[in-house]
Structure 1
Amino acid sequence: MTRTLNATAASLLGFLHEGPLTGWDLVATAQQRIGDFWSLTQSQVYRELTAMAEAGLVEAGDPGPRARRPYALTDAGRAAFAEWLEGDVTEELIRFPLLLVVMFGRHVPPDRLAEVIATHRHVHAQRLALYEKQLSEPPTGESDPYAAATLDFGVRYERAVLGWFDALPAVIRGANG
């Protein structure tokens, strides 16, 4: 059965290249390694695992502790992942709820809008600090240029977002003129 992979399924297959993982482990791995730029819910992970098992892309192992079942990548899964990597990379879609609030900012009380802007700016500043710390303290052992390139994107993205916050008109930021 041929199954066109979506990016979520492909990410799971990518993680399974490193060895069998339970759905729980995949959720935790995804949150840790790609959670800042790709969101996965627990229900998505289990739904994708079920569909990929039915398609023969992964194989479910025997349940372990807490009835957690490890999934292993099959040869068909490796082939589907390789095919996905060879396919067209779709354009990114920005889903940034804050932009909706800013877009409709004239309908938001000024104090509330300023609070929302300040809160989000703080989150991005904290994320930038974390990324910069990770860059300055790489894990021991071999360097992973692919993870480093992704982290570098995160740093540059957060700097750009912080620049955008700083360039917002005073009426949006709630700054006294």
Structure 2
Amino acid sequence: MPSRPLNATAASLLGFLHEGPMSGWDLVATAQSRIGDFWSLTQSQVYRELAAMAADGLVEAQERGRRDRRPYAITDAGRAAFTAWVSREPEPETIRFPLLLTIMFGRHVPADQLAGVVARHREAHAARLAAYEHIDAELPPGAAEAEPYAVATLAFGLAYERAMLAWFDDLPPAIAGG
């Protein structure tokens, strides 16, 4: 068993390693593409967690591969720790949304600057929604049955981005400009 409780970052890495051995670089790229819109991982976090998980026997380093990258494979202990983690009741979510802090203290920001910040964030959410809609449109028939977990996550992303755009559209002119 691990010497410390498994955290969400380590657990997500173990989840990806169920698909086969990956280097730290591969894990960072996989995390950014698959969960990066709702869970952030830094390269330093990934390598720190890999070292800790190797020390705890949850992963084991393989022979160095191309570009001198060292893949890691999940062990039976890692599978057991992941199963225990993913089976537990998730903690309540915490909203950490830097734009909300800026808006909360918006009276201290020049109106045109605040409107520009809001507009740029709205554009980013609109672009993310367009990307999710593209992914959704490209799903093959039967995807919801074959990959219900990924499709449910995509559905959340679609609903979230639509809600965000509705929120932006309802902001008072003092915040959004106009």
Q: TM-score normalized by structure 2? A: 0.95
Cα distance, 1:119 vs. partner? Answer: 0.3
Secondary structure at 2:60 match in 1: strand
Match in the other structure for 1:149: 152
Letter matched to residue 57 of structure 1: L
Which of 159, 163, 166 is residue 169 of structure 2 equivalent to? 166
Cα distance, 1:140 vs. partner? Answer: 8.7
Cα distance, 1:64 vs. partner? Answer: 1.1
What RMSD over aligned residues (CA atoms) do the two structures have, in Å? 1.4
Match in the other structure for 2:35: 34
Which deviates further from its counterpart, 87-96 or 99-108?
87-96
Match in the other structure for 1:105: 106
Match in the other structure for 2:74: 73
Percent sequence identity is 69
Which deviates further from its counterpart, 60-69 or 118-127?
60-69
1:55 aligns with 2:56: yes
Q: Which runs of 5+ in 2 are unaligned?
A: none
Letter matched to residue 106 of structure 1: R
- Measured in 2, the distance between the counterparts of 1:139 and 1:64 equals 34
Structure 2 vs 1, CA of residues 49 and 141 (structure 1 numbering), >3 Å: closer, same or farther?
Answer: farther
- Measured in 2, the distance between the counterparts of 1:32 and 1:38 equals 11
Match in the other structure for 1:88: 89
Over 4 Å off, 4+ runs:
139-142
Cα distance, 1:88 vs. partner? Answer: 2.2
Match in the other structure for 1:124: 125
Q: TM-score normalized by structure 1? A: 0.95
